[in-house]
Structure formats: structure tokens, C-alpha cells
Structure 1
């Protein structure tokens, strides 16, 4: 795995809807900009070699960093893979949609649900939204939220941005009824 850089962003929301949020709502994102392991190879029928060589190391790199940046227990989480213009969306999907990658985050966060994800291809500076869901119950609506990310110089055409996001709480000022009220 060739890492060009790692980016950490922490957002604290102090006011929402004109009301104070106490304690401030925290969301952290850690993204690695890596060389696409399939870059320059043309169409690759079997992605398993690149997945085996990259996915677990990438999960091990990102999971502890995003939880350290959050500086609180995670209640919601998500992931992203943004592929540079010379790659395929399947390259990003191959890295993040494997237990080799996701189990690092699930174990570190004491989570049981699948990580919601976004995958797309785009140029450097493309904005992307990482969806977040509750770490143990994806039906808890208060934790359905997104965090927007943009890295000015990534991904280059032969790179992939892989990111993990974690929130210490649900949406600030959430007030939707529980899903069970509609069932």
C-alpha cells in the first residue's frame, strides 16, 4: 500500500436550529490518499490480489485514527471510497466492502452493524458525503446523518481516497419519532 497522505477532520457543532448543542456534537473523518493498486493495469478480472495486499492494512491504519480524533465513544459510523478518474468504482468498492477492511472499525468501535458507504469516481477536490448509521442498530433514526468531505488535491487520476467517519452522537436537535412508531 502506497499512502500519499492522511487527512483528519473534526467537526464540532455548537449550535443547531438556533439552539445550543451541549455538549457540542462531534464528527471525525480520517482519510488516506493511496495509490490505486490496479492503476495502469487495464481491466483486471480478479481484484483479490490488490484487496488482499491493501484492505486490511488500510482498515488498521484508519480505524484507530478516526476514533482517536473523535475523542469520545463512537455511536455512528460510515466509510467512503473515492476513485480517481483513471480507476473504476469497483476498485474502491473492492477495498472497503470486505471484512478485511471493515472489521478493524467494527471491532475498535464495539459495533455490530454494517458500515454504510459511499463510492464514486471523481477528480481532485470532488465533494463526497459519507453516510452514518448507529453502530449497533441501523434502525435508530437519530443517528442517520451525513458528513461532507472534500480534499483539495485528491484523488489524483491513479489514486483512491478511502475514509472512515465516526460521530459521538446522533444528529444535533433530532426529534423524529422512533421507527417503531410507524410499524
Structure 2
């Protein structure tokens, strides 16, 4: 796995809707910009070798970093794979939609649910939104949120941005009724 750079973002919302957020709402993202393991090979029918060589190492690299950056227990989480223009969306999906990748984050966060994800292809500097859901129950509405990310120089055409996001809480000032009230 060739990692060109790692980007860490920590966002704290102190005020929402004109009211203080106490404690501050924290979201952290850690992204690795890697060389696409299938770049330059044309259409690759079987992606298993690239998955085996990279997915677990990426999860092991990113999971502890995002939890450390968050600095609080994880309550919501998500993931992203943004593929450069010379790759296929399937290349990013292959790396993040495997237990070899996701279990590193689930285990570190003591989570029970699947990680929500975004996958897309685009040029360097593309904006992408990482969806987050509650880490033990994806039906908890207060934790449904997205976090916008942009890495100005990534992905290059032969790269993939792989990212994990974690939040220490639900949306600031959330006020929606529980899903059970509509059933």
C-alpha cells in the first residue's frame, strides 16, 4: 500500500441555531490518500488480490487515528472512498466494503452496525459528504448526519482517498421525535 498523505480534520460546533452547544459537537475525519492498487491495469475482473493486500492495513491505519482525533467516545460513524479519474468506483468500494476494513473501526468503537458510506469518482479537490449513523442502532435519528470533506490535491487520477469519520454525538440541537413515534 502506497500512502501519499494522511489528512486529519477535527470540527467543533460551539453554537447552533443561535444557542450554545454544550458540550461542543465534535466530528473527526482521517483520510489516507493512496495509490490505486488497480491503476494502469485496465479492467481487472477479480479484485481479491488488491483487497487482501490493502483493505485490512487501511482499516488498521485509519481506525485508531480517527478515534484519537475525536478525543471522545464514538457515537456515530461513517466511511468514504473517492476514486481518482483513472479508476473505477468499484476500486474504492472493494477496499471499504469488506469486513477486513470495517471491523477495525467497529471493534475500536465497540460498534454494532454497518458503516454508512459514500463512494464516488472525481478530480482532485472534489467535495464529498460522509454520511454518519449511530454506532449501535442505525434507526436513531439524532445521529443521522453528514460531514463535508475536501482535500485540495487529492485524489490524483491514479489515487483513492479512503476516509473514516466519527462523531461524539448526534446533530447539534437535534429535536426530531424517535422513529418509533411514527410506527
Q: Could you state the TM-score of these two structures normalised by the residue count of structure 2?
A: 1.00
Residue deviations 1:47-93 (CA, integer Å, cap 9, x gap): 00000000000000000000000000000000000000000000000
The 5 A counterparts of 1:25-174 are 25-174=25-174
Give the whole-Å Cα distance in 2 for the aligned partners of 1:167 and 1:18.
21
Q: What count of residue pairs does the alignment treat as equivalent? A: 183
Give the whole-Å Cα distance in 2 for the aligned partners of 1:18 and 1:49.
52
Structure 2 unmatched ranges of 5 or more: none
**Secondary structure of 1:26's aligned partner:** strand
Structure 1 unmatched ranges of 5 or more: none
Q: Could you say which residue in structure 2 is the equivalent of 1:18?
A: 18
Q: Cα distance, 1:158 vs. partner?
A: 0.1
Give the whole-Å Cα distance in 2 for the aligned partners of 1:44 and 1:79.
24
Q: Cα distance, 1:172 vs. partner?
A: 0.2
Give the whole-Å Cα distance in 2 for the aligned partners of 1:84 and 1:144.
27
Q: Cα distance, 1:11 vs. partner?
A: 0.1
Q: Cα distance, 1:127 vs. partner?
A: 0.2
Q: Cα distance, 1:143 vs. partner?
A: 0.1
Q: Cα distance, 1:102 vs. partner?
A: 0.1
Could you list the runs of 4 or more consecutive aligned residues of structure 1 that deviate by over 6 angstroms after TM superposition?
none
Q: Cα distance, 1:111 vs. partner?
A: 0.1
Give the whole-Å Cα distance in 2 for the aligned partners of 1:112 and 1:41.
37
Q: Cα distance, 1:114 vs. partner?
A: 0.2
Give the whole-Å Cα distance in 1 for the aligned partners of 2:112 and 2:156.
34
Q: Could you say which residue in structure 1 is the equivalent of 2:182?
A: 182
Give the whole-Å Cα distance in 1 for the aligned partners of 2:80 and 2:48.
19
**Secondary structure of 2:54's aligned partner:** helix
Q: Could you state the TM-score of these two structures normalised by the residue count of structure 1?
A: 1.00
